[in-house]
Amino acid sequence: LVAHGKAQERMYFCSHYWGEYFRDFMVTIDAHAAHNGEGLRANYWICVYAVNQHQIELGHRLCDSPFYRGLQGSRATLLMLDKKADALSRLWCVFELNETLQKLKHPLEVWTPLGRVGTGLVSSGPVLQALMRVDTRKAKASHPVDQRSIMNHVAGLDENQG
């Protein structure tokens, strides 16, 4: 992240699905920042703003991708869910969660526009029901090469196998 020619600290990596409503996405960011007392000081790594979506250079391995580098430099990952938990149907989100928990050992926080999952306003309802039904083996990527690489990586196989 660069602002005014200087690199910025990546405080939070946002793992999300771009099919969600932008308003809900921003309400979730605002709720997270307010909950943590961060205000405008908080820096969020959001792929559409951090990576040129028309010329994404993923590298030869997933650890070379801008998504992994964004995760690596963050202090926590925010999984941002809509009421159907659609982010968990996206394989890149599964990759981000796997790296957060398994490799980087970073904290993971699950948030919705109503607040953090497991707290007062988000302790039951459609989001929790969707979380209980999620099967990440069914998650999809837009490109077949990404699909194969991520599935292999998460399974502990050579990313380029197959």
In tens, the pLDDT along 120-152 reads 777 677 777 777 787 878 899 988 988 999 999
Q: What band does 43 get if pLDDT is binned at 50, 70 and 90?
A: confident
> Is pLDDT of 51 > 60?
yes
| Spatial contact of 128 and 84, defined as CB atoms under 8 Å apart | no
The SS3 assignment for 88 reads: helix
> Is pLDDT of 50 > 70?
yes
> Is pLDDT of 7 > 70?
no
pLDDT higher at 104 or 59? 104
Mean pLDDT across the stretch 38-46?
Answer: 81
> Is pLDDT of 54 > 70?
no
